[in-house]
A and B are shown apart, each in its own frame.
Chain A
Amino acid sequence: MTSSRMTLLVGVVVEEDVGLSLSELARASGADESQLVEWVLEGVLDPSGGAPADWRFGGASLRRAHLARRLSEDLEINPPGVALALDLIDEIDSLRSHLRRRGAG
């Protein structure tokens, strides 16, 4: 195996510095634009802006779209199923967050 090394790379934090357009989110999540539109209609993703061309996806959208793509591909789940799974994952996340905040007690 060959190998190489690069100089120090500096990135941007997607959640704070970037609002992704529909096509950027499609590339970053590996989902089709049409899938993303379906997920927006199901309420899985909540972009700002009116028409799809003006949509800006911020914050947690990348993780959600990535999750949605993996769940729909790997488990062959349809959009309402993806929406339900993500709602339940959100609920688990908030319970975990609650536990972390409470401590061992």
Chain B
Amino acid sequence: MQFQDYYQTLGVARDATQDDIKRAYRKLARKFHPDVSKEADAEVRFKALGEAYAVLKDPEKRAAYDQMGSEWKTGQDFRPPPGWDAGFEFSGSGFETAGSGEYSDFFEALFGRAGAGRGTHAKGRDRHAKVVIDLADAYRGAQRSIVMQVPQRNAQGRVQLHERTLDVAIPRGVRAGQHLRLAGQGEPGAGGGAAGDLYLEIDFAEHPLFRADGADVFLDLPLAPWEAALGAAVDVPTPTGTVRLTIPPGSEAGKRLRLKGRGIPAATVGDLYAVLTIVLPPAARESERQAYQAFARAFDFDPRARLKG
């Protein structure tokens, strides 16, 4: 397993005070909290911060950790020395915020697994996971396999990770941010208690053309200036196939043309919007330059009329 340098994770010196540690954690936790951070690796960084803080904020665990010495570097291959924790007794499990499997192997080898040994008869905890689907899946419905790592006790009473694959039906009409509840697929209950539920949060994979907002779907539709000015009939891709769309004469950039009912088929069916953009052809060849010059002569047009006092 790999050594974790918790001081480095929090960016504090080994002799930092408890207050320094708390301050460093709070600051970094706000920066990397996955619910508010836009950093690409926020989830991973935040977990590492939580683990480092769980050890360093607790004077007993910190002392035990410090005993390992300061020569170790993050990522170095590590095996705890036999009897390393003699003389330390960790009070309680103490990891109230941790779900199972949230901490590294390194942490669990040193401090044990969080959350073991709950009440005698209790319903298992609910679990949460995210599932990324394509926009097209929301139109048709789909089937997804989800691999979950579930801690289980084996015959010797040791906790081992068990890999469970769930085949889940993704219902048609589902939208990003919605949750699918799978009854009884959460953590097992204790002492005959029922299992918890599994909640899957739906997210859409980025699509090069379409973006969804609720049940509505948006697409940028580029037009040539003459198509926008004179009107045209153009082919527009939609998640359910190409349709022919009539562009009215005098269409301006930013205008939205609605294709009613071609959004996500939710309970309230969404619409598809083509957001018009106007693309200028380059004036590269002589004939093209002449066309632009003829254009200029034909119009009495001042694009900057509004800038004049």
Contact = CB atoms under 8 A, between A and B. Distances in A.
A53 interface: no
Do most interface residues of chain B lie in helix, strand or loop, or is the interface mixed?
strand
Contacts of B178: 13-16
Interface residues of A, number: 40
A77 B38 CA distance: 20
Interface residues of B, number: 59
B230 interface: no
B163 A75 contact: no
A40 B116 CA distance: 32
Contacts of B143: 8
Interface stretch (B29-37, B71-79, B80-88): B29-37
Given A3-B164, A15-B178, A85-B36, A27 B123 contact: yes
Interface in A50-105: 60, 62-63, 66-67, 70-71, 73-76, 85, 89, 97, 100-105
Interface of B: 26, 29-30, 33, 35-36, 46, 50, 96-97, 123, 125-126, 128, 143, 149, 152, 160-169, 171, 174-175, 177-183, 185, 196-201, 211-214, 216, 218, 220, 253-254, 256, 266-267, 273, 275, 277
Given A14-B180, A105-B275, 6 more contacts: A6-B165, A9-B167, A11-B168, A13-B171, A71-B35, A104-B277
Interface of A: 1-16, 18, 27-28, 30, 60, 62-63, 66-67, 70-71, 73-76, 85, 89, 97, 100-105
